[in-house]
């Protein structure tokens, strides 16, 4: 391969020349991103200026409106997206629903593994993620160790636009915090890699190198624009409505009750992420975020744009915490190292089926990491409001496309704590929404689309 080309200072015209020479219409391009954290903003925006179109882009998501991948989408330069999540960009969602852009949607852990296999020269892999869902349709399946699994082919890209923290003049690279995400795997799976870095040094410590020079072709000094354009904003728990605040409070209490001696617990995007604000160090819970953080703490006073949770909210790092890439994150999940995951849900059935990624004709945020989490985590907890638009979300059978079959163990809502058992739904606790316990139970039963058995010790929510 030879020594990589090093561009020591941000040089717009020189980088544009590299783009025009190496990125051609119709090519497959890898652009790592996680809610536009860890995206090579300069490289992607300069690619948008070339007007190169017909691109097939491998990315985790659709970027932000007008920024990163979102700018290529708005320009009409992308023919097809291979992603796991759409809802980062409302413009992209509208274009997809109007049939103006083609999207192949994959579970997040499956997508990153496709890249990882591509970079390692493997043909593909089998995974239990997505069994019994729309993801399985039309794909080869096989029973392995008594478990049905789906085959996915490996992915490679012609060009990778990679974001890293630091590189040396030999082409070795170090990534940074949760900005690592898809970058390492995408670089390895690309035939030609252009890497945007914040710092260029003479030599890196050999023990601390994440990506070796064998994978790098061009190193470009960043302009630093991402620091202003991709700032992370804090959302306070108090900003949630009363119902969601109750969900968060009761879910945090359930976690502490289920795992008094500590556990690794993943918090999914949306309402579950707010649980981090209520767990304390003495609770001995190690929170995991699938974008590459184990030991996630509550939102900090000082925000770091490269330490975020799975919803792009600011996060802190607890003692013993660590950063890693998305390959390691989903290997941790699929490998059974996560004791529990807390996710939101559109519908949950009496047998533990979950639907939480699409409402046909209304909402299609994408699959994200949910399918991997419900397949790999030992305990699945759904934290959601009891009803939506006055209609039950807990049903005898889900009506929406499934995220997983028979995977849910606990449902925490603003009105009830429900356990899913082989005998059906068991009501353990209720909110005081009527004059007494019996009346509250009957009211909750009327708002539930499945039969509820009562625990012998059913009671009001504990504080």
Residues with catalytic annotation? 290
Are 157 and 189 within 8 A, CB to CB?
A: yes
Q: Determine the 3-state secondary structure of 158 from DSSP.
A: strand
Closest-CA residue to 413 (of 348, 335, 331, 333): 348
Per-position DSSP letters for 184-211, written without gaps between them: HHHHHTEEEEEEEEEEEES---GGG-SB
Q: Strand, helix or coil at 186?
A: helix
Q: Where are the alpha helices (DSSP H) in 66-107?
A: 69-74, 90-97
Q: For the CA atoms of 403, 293, 274, 355, what is the dihedral angle to 10 degrees?
A: 0
Given a contact cutoff of 8 angstroms between Cβ atoms, the answer to whether 455 and 441 are in contact is no
Q: How far apart are CA 108 and CA 332, in angstroms?
A: 13
Cα distances from 321 to residues 80, 82, 295, in angstroms, run 37, 31, 4
What is d(CA 39, CA 312) in angstroms, rounded to the nearest whole number? Answer: 13
Q: Where does residue 260 fall: left (phi above 0), alpha (psi -120 to 50 degrees), or beta otherwise?
A: alpha
Beta bridge partners of 103: 81
CA–CA distance, 309 with 86 (Å, rounded to integer): 17
């Amino acid at each position: 391969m030879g020594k990589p080309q090093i561009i020591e200072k941000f040089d717009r015209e020189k980088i544009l020349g590299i783009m025009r020479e190496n990125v051609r219409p119709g090519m497959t391009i890898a652009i790592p991103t996680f809610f536009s954290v860890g995206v090579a903003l300069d490289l992607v925006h300069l690619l948008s200026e070339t007007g190169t179109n017909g691109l097939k882009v491998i990315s985790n998501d659709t970027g932000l409106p007008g920024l990163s991948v979102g700018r290529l989408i708005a320009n009409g330069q992308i023919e097809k997206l291979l992603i796991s999540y759409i809802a980062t960009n409302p413009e992209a969602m509208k274009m997809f629903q109007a049939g103006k852009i083609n999207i192949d949607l994959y579970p997040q852990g499956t997508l990153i593994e496709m890249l990882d296999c591509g970079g390692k020269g493997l043909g593909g892999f089998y995974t239990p993620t997505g069994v019994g869902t729309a993801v399985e349709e039309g794909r080869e399946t096989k029973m392995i160790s008594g478990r049905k699994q789906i085959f996915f082919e490996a992915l490679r890209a012609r060009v990778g636009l990679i974001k890293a923290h630091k590189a040396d003049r030999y082409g070795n690279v170090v990534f940074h915090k949760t900005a690592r995400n898809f970058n390492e795997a995408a670089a390895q799976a690309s035939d030609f890699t252009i890497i945007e870095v914040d710092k260029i040094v003479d030599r890196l410590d050999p023990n601390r190198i994440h990506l070796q020079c064998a994978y790098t072709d061009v190193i470009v000094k960043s302009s630093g624009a991402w620091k202003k354009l991709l700032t992370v904003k804090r959302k306070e728990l108090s900003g949630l409505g009363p119902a969601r605040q109750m969900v968060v409070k009761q879910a945090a209490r359930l976690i502490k009750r289920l795992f008094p001696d500590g556990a690794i617990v993943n918090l999914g995007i949306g309402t579950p992420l707010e649980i981090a604000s209520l767990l304390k160090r003495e609770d001995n819970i190690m929170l995991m975020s699938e974008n590459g953080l184990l030991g996630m703490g509550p939102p900090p006073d000082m925000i770091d744009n490269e330490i975020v949770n799975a919803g792009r909210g600011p996060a802190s790092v607890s003692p013993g915490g660590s950063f890693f890439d998305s390959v390691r994150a989903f290997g941790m999940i699929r490998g059974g190292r996560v004791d529990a995951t807390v996710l939101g849900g559109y519908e949950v059935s009496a047998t533990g089926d979950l639907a939480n990624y699409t409402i046909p004709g209304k909402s299609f945020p994408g699959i994200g990491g949910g399918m991997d989490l419900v397949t790999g985590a030992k305990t699945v907890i759904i934290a959601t409001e009891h009803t939506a638009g006055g209609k039950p979300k807990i049903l005898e059978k889900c009506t929406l496309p499934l995220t997983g079959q028979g995977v849910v163990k606990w449902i925490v809502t603003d009105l009830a704590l429900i356990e899913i058992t082989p005998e059906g739904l068991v009501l353990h606790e209720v909110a005081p929404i009527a004059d007494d316990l019996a009346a509250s139970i009957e009211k909750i039963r009327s708002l539930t689309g499945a039969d509820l058995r009562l625990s012998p010790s059913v009671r009001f929510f504990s504080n």
